[in-house]
Chain A
Amino acid sequence: MSIDAPDFPIRAELPETPKKVEEQDERFIEVKDYSFFYGKKQVLSNLSFDIPERQVTAFIGPSGCGKSTLLRSFNRLNELVENSWQTGDIRIQGESIFSKNLDVISLRRRAGMIFQKSNPFPKTVYENVVYGLKVAGIRKKAVLDEIVERSLKGAALWDEVKDYLHENAHSLSGGQQQRLCIARVIATEPQILLLDEPCSALDPIATGKIEELIHELKKRFTVLIVTHNMQQAARVSDRTAFFYEGKLVEYRNTEDIFLNPMNPRTEAYVSGRFG
């Protein structure tokens, strides 16, 4: 399927700082000695690594290794769990996301999230896409219409749903729903996309579409993806981080980690001997 490559000549009145288009910041996100706890249970221990701008970074590792928890730390969604706490720091463009000055709502607009199970609201397709804009206080119909079209094109969904914009989103197929969730997130023009196993509930064709989409998305967004699927990590990501029991075992270019793993555990995992 061909993706209607979106061009973005117009920037809507969004409360976003314009991205630098040319240079890539190698230390766009810095994770510094970050540990995370649910009550007394430590889920992540002393992680330190940097994530480059506008690349796809995959988090892999066996179930329960904490990769989803880490992903949910970037938009502080873990805070919804009672009794959770963390030490260390995560910085985006040098600014700590745990800083008292930072508004968690603006953080979540900068770091949009797509979940394992697609979760469109039980509203129309249109209402789903504009949700983030409406809660941000954007009301102008013309602006909303334009962003809906742009976002749906950006999520490679426009051609399929343009005639059904006012139908309930739950009438879409599973893959379409997941792409709708992506459209909903990119509508607010985030800098970072957090993808939490976005294809685990989809069939191979829908998965293929999403993966193609990720290639497009990384031109504009910094993409972090959690996946259980080694091939998927190899196909879509530029860098891969392997986690085991809350620790970062290996973090290198994807090619290197799959072809030439340094750590025996990484090798065992990527070759499918455990996990």
Chain B
Amino acid sequence: MSGVSDFIARPRTIGETWVWLTGMGLVAALVMIIGLFGFICYRGVIVFWPTTIVELELSQEAQERFGLPEKIAGRYLGESPRVAWPSTVDEMRPGGGLPEKKYFIGNEESYGSRFGAFTSDEVVARTKPLNLLVAERLEFGEAFLYPVEIKLSNGGAISADSPDFLTLFREELNQINQRRKAIQRLEKVQIGQISWRIEKLRTEERGIRRKGEPVSSSDAARLERIEEELSGLENRYRVFALEARSLRELQGASHLVYRLPHGELDEISLDKVNRVYAPNRLNLWQKVRLYVESLHLFLTESPRESNTAGGIFPAIFGTFVMTVLMSAAVLPFGVIAALYLHEYARQGPLVRLVRISVLNLAGVPSIVFGVFGLGFFVYFIGGGIDSLFFSERLPTATFGTGGIFWASLTLALMTVPVVIVATEEALAAVPAGLREASYACGASKWQTTVRVLIPGSLPGILTGLILAMARGAGEVAPLMLVGVVKLAPSLPINLVPPFIHLDRKFMHLGFHIYDLGFQSPNAEAALPMVFASTVLLILLVVVLNIGAILLRNHLRRKYTTDTF
């Protein structure tokens, strides 16, 4: 008796304790998300921060052990215990278990490795020399060096002792970089346009010749004209090529003479240097400027040195174009399918079966879609297009090989269930009163659909598109089969006619991360780029989503149906 009343009097409800569990679940999820995102952002953001470079004097044993000279310069990376696995069967690696400091030592071509890790015994002295320069080179990565002089093309020289050496050096470099860009433009745009035209004419010529003998008079006239135009184009090509070659000769004319920390003299053509800075002489403001400059280069340049250096613009652009194309394909396709399923199909077992199949399609592993895309889009449809429209070019495949168009369609197919489900839900959420009002005004079913249902469900449809984009933009596995490449020679949209090249292979941030981090021969050097690319991929997805969310909110305001 008293037990029961006690129980009732106790101010708590049975099951309240579970609230703790749900709260803890949420906290755990948040910690994981924030932790992961914070870590990636931190590692991605500090990549371009200029840090000091130290000069290390190595002990005799260390020099012998690592095959390094007496003095090296390096960027400190971090400390960890040395792994003590045996270097030969009966000899343990010296210093095993001791903490070792890891440095990026640069000058790969001289030292044979870009990294060194030394215990405190192995380093005799550490200094921060002010006149040390970091040179970002187009090959072999960064170099840490002491400048001696610059030999100019006109035979003159700038000595490193002169007070404005760095300014003059930068001016010279700037000029060379501008010229390099001019050469690239010349080759890619002007010469590219000519080659495109030549290629087109050659293809046409081949097509006419393939018809066999006898050549009809109109064809013969056409061939003659093609021949004429080709020779004109080839002349123009020669002019541009000559211009490019003369510019190239200028490029190699000036050199930097420098001294490595251990005293060895060397020289490098300035054409091979991208940027220089004196890391130990920078104040905070200069560091920020350098950081912004590095970030800008990273975002706008093409990759170099098997993607471990340079920028990732082609990957950003490829991801963006692919996602937009995918959205453009998936939206009408999904909305039309959902409209039929929800509005027109007679609800019954068959429609239920279709709906379940669509839902299950969303759970199919993405690589399966990749295989399907390869078989269906690339080989079947692409091959068909090639044999119908591009038969002159065969056996070179145009659409019969992976490309951005097929990749977008494959992803659209993968994400279409998301859009269908969202659209159906949005259609169901349009108030019945609006539907009835439209019918009562004498609208037909189609008019009601177009004028009331679709506008009313647009916010919901866009939510579906946002989810589809979030899934599609980060997907990598299927892309590897249908058109993504490690390094694309040109962008899918550029200045060479026909300007939009949907048949082209493209670069993708997700694949870039995979390739850099796990397929690169120089994974260690690529690690910072992996983090930076990851941050960028996340940012790109966030930006695309925010864009879609803003659009959705705008539409929601416009088509809102409040209940009073």
Binding site for B on A (CB under 8 A): 75, 77, 80, 82, 105-106, 108-109, 112-113, 115, 117, 119-122, 131-132, 134-136, 168, 170, 174, 177, 181, 184-185, 188, 201
In whole Å, how far is A178's beta carbon from the nearest beta carbon of chain B?
A: 10
Which residues of chain B are near A135, meaning CB under 8 Å?
Answer: 438, 441-444, 447, 451
| Contact of B236 with A by CB under 8 A | no
| Contact of B431 with A by CB under 8 A | yes
Do A122 and B441 form a contact, CB below 8 Å, given A170-B560, A174-B564?
Answer: no
CA distance A87 to B46 in the complex (A): 79
The answer to whether B436 touches A105 (Cβ under 8 A) is no
Which residues of chain A are near B347, meaning CB under 8 Å?
Answer: 82
Residue in A82, A168, A174, A185 whose beta carbon sits within 8 Å of that of B441 in the complex:
A185
Chain B, interface size category, equals: 20 to 34
Besides A106-B442, A181-B437, 18 other CB < 8 A contacts?
Answer: A75-B440, A77-B436, A105-B443, A105-B444, A108-B439, A113-B436, A119-B436, A121-B451, A122-B434, A122-B559, A131-B438, A134-B451, A135-B438, A135-B447, A174-B564, A177-B564, A185-B441, A201-B564
Do A112 and B441 form a contact, CB below 8 Å, given A119-B431, A122-B561, A135-B451?
Answer: yes
Which residues of chain B are near A119, meaning CB under 8 Å?
Answer: 431, 433-434, 436-437
The answer to whether A115 touches B456 (Cβ under 8 A) is no
The answer to whether A132 touches B434 (Cβ under 8 A) is no
Binding site for A on B (CB under 8 A): 347, 431, 433-444, 447, 451-452, 455-456, 558-562, 564
The answer to whether B442 touches A122 (Cβ under 8 A) is no
Residue in A82, A121, A136 whose beta carbon sits within 8 Å of that of B434 in the complex:
A121
The answer to whether B451 touches A122 (Cβ under 8 A) is no
CA distance A170 to B558 in the complex (A): 10
The answer to whether A131 touches B443 (Cβ under 8 A) is yes
In whole Å, how far is B472's beta carbon from the nearest beta carbon of chain A?
A: 30
**Cβ-closest chain B residue relative to A113:** B440
The answer to whether B437 touches A122 (Cβ under 8 A) is no
Do A122 and B558 form a contact, CB below 8 Å, given A80-B439, A174-B564?
Answer: yes
Please indicate which of the listed interface residues B347, B440, B560 has the most CB atoms of chain A within 10 Å of its own CB.
Answer: B440
Which residues of chain B are near A132, meaning CB under 8 Å?
Answer: 441-443
The answer to whether B439 touches A188 (Cβ under 8 A) is no
In whole Å, how far is A139's beta carbon from the nearest beta carbon of chain B?
A: 14
Which residues of chain A are near B434, meaning CB under 8 Å?
Answer: 119, 121-122
**Cβ-closest chain B residue relative to A134:** B451
**Cβ-closest chain A residue relative to B433:** A119
A-B CB contact pairs (8 Å), 30 listed: A75-B440, A77-B436, A77-B439, A80-B435, A80-B436, A80-B439, A82-B347, A105-B442, A105-B443, A105-B444, A108-B439, A108-B440, A115-B436, A115-B437, A119-B431, A120-B437, A121-B434, A121-B451, A122-B456, A122-B559, A122-B561, A131-B438, A131-B441, A132-B441, A135-B447, A168-B558, A185-B440, A185-B441, A188-B441, A201-B564
Please indicate which of the listed interface residues A82, A113, A135 has the most CB atoms of chain B within 10 Å of its own CB.
Answer: A135
Residue in B440, B447, B560 whose beta carbon sits within 8 Å of that of A122 in the complex:
B560
In whole Å, how far is B517's beta carbon from the nearest beta carbon of chain A?
A: 49
The answer to whether A184 touches B436 (Cβ under 8 A) is no
Do A108 and B442 form a contact, CB below 8 Å, given A121-B452, A131-B451, A135-B451?
Answer: yes
**Cβ-closest chain B residue relative to A127:** B451
Please indicate which of the listed interface residues A113, A131, A177, A181 has the most CB atoms of chain B within 10 Å of its own CB.
Answer: A131
